[in-house]
Amino acid sequence: MTHATMFEPRNVAFRRATALVAVIATAFSVLTASAGLMENEVDQKGLRFSKASAAIAVGGTMHFHNGDDVIHNIMTIDADDEPEDQGLQKPGQTISTKFDKTGTYQVRCAIHPKMKMTVKVGE
Amino acid sequence: MRTSTIWYGIMRIGALSAALAIAFALNLRPASAVPSFGIQTSQPCSACHVGSYGPRLKTAGRDFKLYGYASSDNKDHGLPFNANARASFTHTDADQAGGASDGFDVNDNFAFDGLTLSFAGKIVDQVGAVARLSYNGIKGVWQWGGVDIRYAKDATWFGHDVVFGITVNNGPTRTDLWESALSGAPTASSGLSRRPKAAPIAGSLSGLVAGAGIYAMWNDLIYLEFSAYDGFNRDTLNALGVDPLNGRDSFDGLIPYGRIAVQKEFDEGHHFIELGAYALRANVFPRDIDTAGTNEFLDVDVDAMYQWIADPSLSTSDTFTARVAYLHEQEKLDASRALFGTNAVDNLSTWRADLSYSVDATITATAHYFQTTGDNDVVRWGTPGGKIDTTGWIGQLDYVPWGKPDSPLDWLNVRLTLQYMAYDEFNGRSDNASDKNTLLVGFTIVGTTNQ
């Protein structure tokens, strides 16, 4: 029996344990996603949102953090194209917006019209 | 829509109409700084402009123009009027016989170059405008300048964003997002320095024509524009206070203008490139004589721009910009040949290129190269041998202390300019070209009424 062979059973057990942890972690993230996050964060930096889309549960809160040195704005627009102005953000400021209804919302900066992302609010 | 919003829109349209009426009754030249845009959007000048002062744009400025000058912070800031005053000292290497201009000395002149009043801002949702009216301190006349009224809207097309718009303006290339025209001086010039004889017609139409066009930007990548212009007749130009093309020429029919460009941002806004081209055709009655047909001018331009921003999250970040543009003009001079004996066809080509580096959006250094070459035409140009070739450099240093997030007054900005323009060749002559070399020390101050 070589040295390597002697340690093979322990190596296999380690791999199995790692795989199990990965499966559990994946299952947890899938379950969490399907249930919807109660909180989610997005950065605004370089005149763009850090995510093109984000998911959140009904009643959950999105945190938009202004990482630029200029003022931004948050506008949420629902499926009926109704905008809601969440106000201006000074540099470094975070705007937290609660989403109480299911649906897909567009989030835009009224000052920088190219800045846009979607927020999917699910059950 | 609330009643107050409607009245506010009507009031703004009324104010713009009044500004335009005054502008049409007088006559003008472009000035670039418009702090009312900054107030409208709660942004410092440095957010949109390289070096915290116009006209060079960064991504936010290009987008603001693309979206029709109508983006805002959703607050009411009042009417967006601006005033821009300019003064300078000019020294040329050799004295200018008879004075640099009427009422000025042969050299070393201090001048009040002018005052520009402008309306610049949102009118109603998705509609905005810039309309300028200037007093030319060198000529002592009021002039109307850049006008650009836009409607813009975005949508989704083939799964990607598209921004489309309509523009009404008074000069081809005025609508450009990348400054394709690349005028002779980077951002400052003096009416007291000598200018070469020949220039392409594309850069000479501002204020002489008015037109409308449509444009679209697809996927923040491909830009297309088509416009058509009509020239004002001589009586109208006189009423506007504008000198006709070459003093007396007039236009025949519409002037079509088309623009295509591809642009792309890389590395989260650190790098930006643009490649583009435009074409324009104009038929001209020389000296307003319509008995011998027309001269036909066809301009084709290709241009490119690269911009690097050290930190896109900081509006005051260092910025490097490189631009180059080549333009060829084919001039079919059937009318001029029949009437005056010029060449039947002349060709004119220009190269423009500049490099600029802006430190902390406060100090900006620019090196600019310009070259104009063309066919010799003694009758047309009246220069020795009929030559028009002109080549030279411009070195410029701009200092802009304000217009940044921590500046004390967001409605006011100033710029100090030190510029040296050197000619290697001027109208085909190299021996005395350096006589026209010009040192310019300039000061501009700009403020806005909206708060």
pLDDT in tens, B60-117: 999 999 999 999 999 999 999 999 999 999 999 999 988 999 899 999 999 999 999 9
Name every chain B residue with its beta carbon within 8 A of the beta carbon of A114. 63, 220
CB distance B286 to B335 below 8 Å: yes
Name every chain A residue with its beta carbon within 8 A of the beta carbon of B150. none
B65 vs chain A: nearest CA distance in angstroms? 11
Quote the CA–CA distance of B223 and B438 in Å, as a whole number. Answer: 38
Element (H, E) at B111: strand B109-124
Under an 8 A CB cutoff, do A47 and B73 touch? Answer: no
Asked if A113 has any chain B CB less than 8 Å from its own CB, the reply is yes
The model's confidence at residue B190, banded by pLDDT at 50, 70 and 90, is confident
Write down the pLDDT at residue B262: 98
Amino acid at site B79: L
Give the tokens for residue A84. 């809601």
Write down the pLDDT at residue B203: 85
Name every chain A residue with its beta carbon within 8 A of the beta carbon of B72. 110-111
Spatial CA neighbour of B211 closest among B177, B179, B166, B252: B166
Write down the pLDDT at residue B246: 83
Q: Is the pLDDT of residue B19 over 50?
A: no
The model's confidence at residue A6, banded by pLDDT at 50, 70 and 90, is very low
Which of B73, B269, B316 is facing A73, going by the closest CB pair?
B73
Q: Name the least confident of A16-20, B131-135, B184-188, B447-451.
A: B184-188
| Selected residue of B313, B360, B404 to mutate for chain A interface (largest A Cβ count, 10 A) | B313
Quote the CA–CA distance of A38 and A56 in Å, as a whole number. Answer: 6
Under an 8 A CB cutoff, do B405 and A91 touch? Answer: yes
Q: Which of residues 22-61 of A touch B (CB under 8 A)?
A: 45-48
Cβ contacts from A onto B, under 8 A: 58
Query: What is the chain A residue with the closest CA to B38?
Result: A111
Mean pLDDT for B283-309 is 96
Share above pLDDT 70 across residues of chain B, in percent, rounded to a whole number:
91
SS3 B172: coil
Mean pLDDT for B5-26 is 47
Cis peptide before B55 (omega within 30 of 0): yes
**Tens of pLDDT along B194-211?**
888 899 999 889 889 999
Quote the CA–CA distance of B286 and B351 in Å, as a whole number. Answer: 26
A120 vs chain B: nearest CA distance in angstroms? 18
The model's confidence at residue B27, banded by pLDDT at 50, 70 and 90, is very low
**Tens of pLDDT along B133-161?**
989 899 888 888 889 999 999 999 888 99
The model's pTM? 0.87
The model's confidence at residue B191, banded by pLDDT at 50, 70 and 90, is confident
Mean pLDDT for B274-300 is 96
Quote the CA–CA distance of B61 and A70 in Å, as a whole number. Answer: 13
Q: Is the pLDDT of residue A10 over 70?
A: no
Quote the CA–CA distance of B391 and B443 in Å, as a whole number. Answer: 27
Which of B42, B60, B313 is facing A69, going by the closest CB pair?
B313
Mean pLDDT for B4-32 is 45
Spatial CA neighbour of B29 closest among B108, B118, B101, B107: B118
Write down the pLDDT at residue B111: 95
Contacts of B3 (CB under 8 A, 6+ apart): none
SS3 B143: strand
SS3 B361: coil
Q: Name the least confident of B17-26, B34-43, B52-61, B355-364.
A: B17-26
Write down the pLDDT at residue B144: 85
Give the tokens for residue B301. 């331009």
**Tens of pLDDT along A35-86?**
478 999 999 999 999 999 999 999 999 999 999 999 999 999 999 999 999 9
Mean pLDDT for B29-42 is 76
Counting Cβ atoms within 10 Å, is residue A79 exposed (0-12), middle (13-18) or buried (19+)?
exposed
A59 vs chain B: nearest CA distance in angstroms? 27
